Amino acid sequence: MKNNIIRLTALTAFAAISFTACKKDKVTTPEPVEQELITTVRLKVTKLDDMSIKTFTYKVENGFGSTRQGTVTIDSVKLAANKEYSVEVELLNEKETPAEDVTKEVKEESNEHLFVYQSSPTTGNGSIGFGMGNKDGNGNPFNQTIRFLTAGAGKGAITVTLKHEPTNKAATTPDATGGETDVEATFPVVLQ
Amino acid sequence: MYRILIAVCIWLFAHLPFASAQDNCNIIVQCRVVETHNNQPLFPVSVYIDEMKREFETDEDGRFQITNACAGIYHIHFHATGYEHLVKELKIEGNTTLKFSLAHIDKELDEVVVADEHTKTIIQSKSQLRRMDITANSGKTLGDMLQAVNGVSVLSNGATIAKPVIHGLYGNRIIILNNGIRQEDQQWGSEHAPNIDPFLANNITVLKGAAGVRYGTDAIGGVVLVEPAAVRTMQGWGGEVNLAGFSNNRMGVASALLEHGFKYIKGLGIRVQGTLKQGGNYRIPGHWAANTGTRESNYSATLAYKKAHFGAEVFYSHFNTELGVYRGAHTGNEKDLLFAINSDTPTIRAGFTYNIARPMQHIRHDLWKLKLNADNRAGAFSLVYAYQHNFRQEFDVIRGNTDKAQLNLTLNTQTLNLNFDHKAIGHITGQIGIDGIYQENYMQDGDRLFIPNYRSPGVAAYAIERYRWNKLTLEAGLRYDYRHYEVYNPEGNNQAIVRYDFDYSNASGTIGIKHKIKPNWEWTATLANAWRAPQANELFSAGLHHSAARIELGDKNLQPEKAYSLNLETVYNVPDKLHLEASLYTQYINDFIYLSPGADILTIRGYFKSFGYKQTNAWLNGADIAFRYNIVKPLEANLKASFLFARDVTQQDWLILMPADRVSAGIKYTFNISKSLKDVFVGVDGRYIFNQWRIPANFDAIDNPRPPAAYTVLDAQCGVTIYVNGQPLYTSITIMNALNQQYRDYMDAFRYFINQPGTNVVVRFRVPFNFYGLKSKN
């Protein structure tokens, strides 16, 4: 009887020690790295008339996934009316120094990605029409580079959407393409 | 296949008219087991009848019932920890009531103390799933299985992830005790199902309402006790094999258990158990649900040693699951989500496959438990130490080629309980004890930030005293908890680690009264409180829910939630005639933590809705009613209903995401065909879930679409116990959603995207076996 109690007490004491013993071991707090972070969409726009180059930036400092967006920079896309432009979209992670070029990865997986462009208004002054874009490895649209055909002078907006694993690459609106949105950037447009 | 099954059911039906007339094996024997010295009921006592090869277990009142017995002579074995092994020879001639008494092993003690849990009971509104209920639902997840309990519903992510909801509360507001150990498996997440293999359980008890005193912090909504049978220490072999096949997702489940009582070391027993499960995409009416497969492999081992006044047990269990998450529920931004919601057909087309792709979860849960107990003249002591390791990996849909998980969360928990049940002082029995807990939660380098790392120790002390006099039992308990959190949160633009320290402490109390007005009629009233500290996700979460396409924001200034609940319950029982259980409850929760909509946040993926954790005062009122009636003896009808009114008192509005009212009804016909085909049953069950119209006024702004319409689902089942040379084989066929009904449930996170699963035909087999080392004699 007594033996049992002694046994239990000893075990309790032992357990209590082992319980508190594991207290101050180091907890390494990992550097949180947002996977696949994109902070910046850059449009590199070349005027076909004179091959002059302009860049427009859409940047949310903390990209995606953070609860604080940080500084948001959105350039107005100022272009000449009734001209044709060759456009290349670049994606960057500027949280890294030097900035990481995410475009490369997206290009490598062009089969699983699609850039979709929308103009508001869709036609008329201030609108932009979209010409042919580049293709993915299977010959389907990828549109990382594309032609812009500006309409008459006016104000509007364009939205650049990057879709991951779209179900229909021939579609021209983000809903119809299916898949998940990786990037959605809306630039104000001024055509002069 | 389907047709054959239906044919079998019809064949069974065809036997109905003459079946009951065929033999005279319809004797019912009511049994009660008490302690020799003080006449107190004993439970759990496992009972085994040689000739029938059937096993029973006593309920809290020490009772069990032998049904469908034929006249004859039987040998009946009684088993309970700390008590002598009793074998009785019985001559059964007709319906009768019998009483058995077991003596404590130590004959020197004239005054017997309560050993272990045998007469321990806490006064609380409760329901139980017995061995047979568990068998009838084998292969289902724990959450799904618990839906059979009145007042319990589920919060689900499709058909494979289900969390129990007790009286409208879930997650951190309920506790699951796995083999006596508080399960710590990151239960804060709504898509984190309990990591428990239900095949471990011999019975599952649900305590409804606050039960903070005995079970500690977080037991606001209730407690689920998953209890395995006592390990066999009587010499010989025993065990069982369970098999189940599900047609809908072509899922197979196999589970086996083997136990052995050693011959040369008396009192030493071992049990090993394992379960394998694999299912593919499940089918909703008209479509396959993409990437909804499931895989599970679990095993456990127990080694137990029992002597007259000393017992020791070591238990280890391993749970391992891979779960596919419906591909269409993983959306990029609010527009994607809206498109998926508005689409009539699943946005992702799929066929059948067993493959599980991203998005998916992979979870491992290990539990080590050591239990020591001893008793002497003063009472019974027990010491339980447990270590749990929970490792949860979530694999997102990502760009690039990697097999790495985007979330690798580890939660290590150590718990210690020291309990002392003192001997009866007059009519008073009771227990005092201390609890300790130490937790560490951490993620891995490179993880998507979701909840920060933390460390948390806690201690508690409690006392519960019970006064039992005639037909009245009074119970009162007190507990004091202290919990500390040390959180390391990355903050600001450079994500520097900031340390936070939180201290929470609170007292809980309970008062219960149980009155047996007549032997078959009792009522219970419980007034109790419980509390919980805000969890790390509520304090710090700062991230996106992919399936909800919204950002959730924690609040460091949240206060602990405090709940006060009052439960009234009455149980009226006329064996084999009727059984009525009615309970009313009211619960007031101070500083109830909930998600409230905030400002839209602009991200590189466009605007997102944000939700912040806020506090309010909530008031939950409800009722559960269950009624069982034998119209004629073999024909049993049952009716169940649950209602819940959940109010936000501060804003005078309804609370969001509360289960809708429900009613269910069923009818079951049981009969015997012959000596080798017994306990044959056919039954139909229907349940009607109301549309949840009790929603907040701003519902449209925070959730979309509105709660789905009311629905009715019909299930049908039939089964038979086949005896081959006296060896029983339990088999049954269940058809779930027999009409292939299309419906959605408000508490299902996939209700935005797809319907609930269609028809599912389940075939089950269970073969228990038992070999005694000695031929029974006494």
Q: Say yes or no for a CB contact (<8 Å) between A65 and B603.
A: yes
Q: Compute the average pLDDT of residues B277-303.
A: 96
Residue count (chain B): 778
Spatial contact of B47 and B56, defined as CB atoms under 8 Å apart: yes
- How far apart, in whole angstroms, are the C-alpha atoms of residue B424 and residue B87? 28
To probe the interface with B, which of A6, A7, A29 has the most B CB atoms within 10 Å? A29
H or E stretch at A65: none
- How far apart, in whole angstroms, are the C-alpha atoms of residue B493 and residue A95? 9
Domains and CATH numbers, chain B: 21-102 (2.60.40.1120), 125-772 (2.40.170.20)
Spatial contact of B228 and B272, defined as CB atoms under 8 Å apart: no
Amino acid B36: pLDDT: 76
Buried b (16+ CB within 10 A) or exposed e, B271-298: bebbbebbbbbbbbeebbbbbbbbbbeb
To probe the interface with B, which of A6, A8, A58, A109 has the most B CB atoms within 10 Å? A8
| In the predicted structure, residue A134 carries a pLDDT above the cut 90 | yes
Contacts of B566 (CB under 8 A, 6+ apart): B209, B525, B526, B527, B585, B586, B587
Q: Which residues of A touch B446 (CB under 8 A)?
A: 30-31, 33, 35
| CA atoms in the 13 A half-sphere facing the CB of A82 | 2
Residue with tokens 């005293």: B465
Segment among B218-227, B466-475, B713-722 with least mean pLDDT: B466-475
Segment among B545-554, B712-721, B744-753 with least mean pLDDT: B545-554
Please state whether the peptide bond connecting residue B705 to the residue before it is cis, i.e. omega within 30 degrees of 0.
yes
Q: What is the DSSP letter of B607?
A: E
Segment among A28-42, B234-248, B437-451 with least mean pLDDT: A28-42
Q: Compute the average pLDDT of residues B287-315.
A: 93
Spatial contact of B299 and B275, defined as CB atoms under 8 Å apart: yes
- How far apart, in whole angstroms, are the C-alpha atoms of residue B76 and residue B48? 6
Q: Say yes or no for a CB contact (<8 Å) between B495 and A178.
A: no
Amino acid B1: pLDDT: 53
CA-nearest of B112, B49, B103, B46 to B79 is B46
H or E stretch at B54: strand B54-57
Amino acid B19: pLDDT: 41
- pLDDT single digits (tens) B664-677: 999 999 999 988 99
Q: Compute the average pLDDT of residues A79-89.
A: 95
| In the predicted structure, residue A32 carries a pLDDT above the cut 90 | no
B418 vs A12, A40, A182: nearest CB:
A12
| In the predicted structure, residue B390 carries a pLDDT above the cut 50 | yes
Q: Say yes or no for a CB contact (<8 Å) between A66 and B330.
A: no
H or E stretch at A16: helix A2-21
Contacts 24+ apart (CB under 8 A), B697-700: B697/B653, B698/B597, B699/B656
Amino acid A151: pLDDT: 95
Q: Say yes or no for a CB contact (<8 Å) between B603 and A11.
A: no
| In the predicted structure, residue B209 carries a pLDDT above the cut 60 | yes
Is pLDDT larger for residue B677 or for residue B26?
B677
- How far apart, in whole angstroms, are the C-alpha atoms of residue A113 and residue A107? 8
Fold of A40-191: Immunoglobulin-like (2.60.40)
Q: Say yes or no for a CB contact (<8 Å) between B332 and A180.
A: yes
Neighbours of B425 (CB within 10 A): 9
Q: Say yes or no for a CB contact (<8 Å) between B543 and A112.
A: no
Q: Say yes or no for a CB contact (<8 Å) between A105 and B372.
A: no
- pLDDT single digits (tens) B633-648: 899 999 999 999 999 9
Amino acid B179: pLDDT: 92
Is pLDDT larger for residue B658 or for residue B84?
B658
- How far apart, in whole angstroms, are the C-alpha atoms of residue B223 and residue B26? 37
| In the predicted structure, residue A1 carries a pLDDT above the cut 50 | no
Spatial contact of B487 and B539, defined as CB atoms under 8 Å apart: yes
Looking at the whole model, is its pTM more than 0.90?
Answer: no
Amino acid B116: pLDDT: 37
Question: Phi and psi for B185 in degrees, rounded to 5?
Answer: -130, 45
Torsion, Cα B190 B191 B192 B198, to 10 degrees, reads 110
Is pLDDT larger for residue B60 or for residue B310?
B310
Measured between CA atoms, the residue of chain B closest to residue A12 is B383
Q: Compute the average pLDDT of residues B312-335.
A: 91
Amino acid A20: pLDDT: 43
Q: Compute the average pLDDT of residues B132-153.
A: 92
At residue B14 the predicted structure's pLDDT band, cuts being 50, 70 and 90, is low
Amino acid A22: pLDDT: 43
H or E stretch at B130: none
Is pLDDT larger for residue B596 or for residue B716?
B716
Percent of chain A's residues with pLDDT above 90: 56
- How far apart, in whole angstroms, are the C-alpha atoms of residue B354 and residue B249? 9
Q: Which residues of B touch A186 (CB under 8 A)?
A: 606
Torsion, Cα A146 A151 A156 A162, to 10 degrees, reads -10
Q: Which residues of B touch A63 (CB under 8 A)?
A: 603-604
Q: Which residues of B touch A185 (CB under 8 A)?
A: 604
Is pLDDT larger for residue B132 or for residue B179?
B179
- How far apart, in whole angstroms, are the C-alpha atoms of residue B122 and residue B465? 10
The domain limits of chain A are 40-191
| In the predicted structure, residue B203 carries a pLDDT above the cut 50 | yes
CA-nearest of B559, B614, B622 to B587 is B622
Q: Which residues of B touch A165 (CB under 8 A)?
A: 397
List of E strands, B598-710: 601-603, 606-632, 635-648, 653-654, 662-671, 677-689
Q: Compute the average pLDDT of residues B727-736.
A: 94
* Type of residue numbered B32: R
To probe the interface with A, which of B309, B489, B604, B608 has the most A CB atoms within 10 Å? B604
With residues binned 3-state (H G I as helix, E B as strand, rest as coil), the percentages for chain A, rounded to 5, are 15, 45, 40
Percent of chain B's residues with pLDDT above 90: 56
CA-nearest of B278, B297, B298, B287 to B326 is B287
Q: Say yes or no for a CB contact (<8 Å) between A8 and B553.
A: no
B604 vs A30, A67, A185: nearest CB:
A185
- pLDDT single digits (tens) B534-556: 998 899 887 776 656 678 888 99
Distances (CA, A) of B563 to B173, B528, B560, B646: 10, 8, 10, 14
Q: What is the DSSP letter of A18?
A: H
Buried b (16+ CB within 10 A) or exposed e, B123-161: bbbbbebbbeebbbbbbbbbbbbbbbbbbbbbbbbbbbb
Spatial contact of B474 and B485, defined as CB atoms under 8 Å apart: no
Amino acid B105: pLDDT: 60
Measured between CA atoms, how close is B636 to chain A, in angstroms?
50
Give strand pairing partners of B574.
B578
- pLDDT single digits (tens) A140-192: 999 999 999 999 999 999 999 999 889 899 988 888 888 888 899 999 999 99
- How far apart, in whole angstroms, are the C-alpha atoms of residue B125 and residue B570? 9
How many residue pairs bridge chain A and chain B with CB atoms within 8 Å of each other?
157
Q: Say yes or no for a CB contact (<8 Å) between B449 and A174.
A: no
Amino acid A23: pLDDT: 39
Segment among A3-7, B100-104, B206-210, B571-575 with least mean pLDDT: A3-7
Segment among A43-57, B50-64, B514-528 with least mean pLDDT: B50-64
Q: Which residues of A touch B436 (CB under 8 A)?
A: 16, 19
* Type of residue numbered B716: A
Amino acid B3: pLDDT: 61
- pLDDT single digits (tens) A43-68: 999 999 999 999 999 998 877 655 66
A32 vs B374, B375, B447: nearest CB:
B447
Q: Compute the average pLDDT of residues B611-616.
A: 92
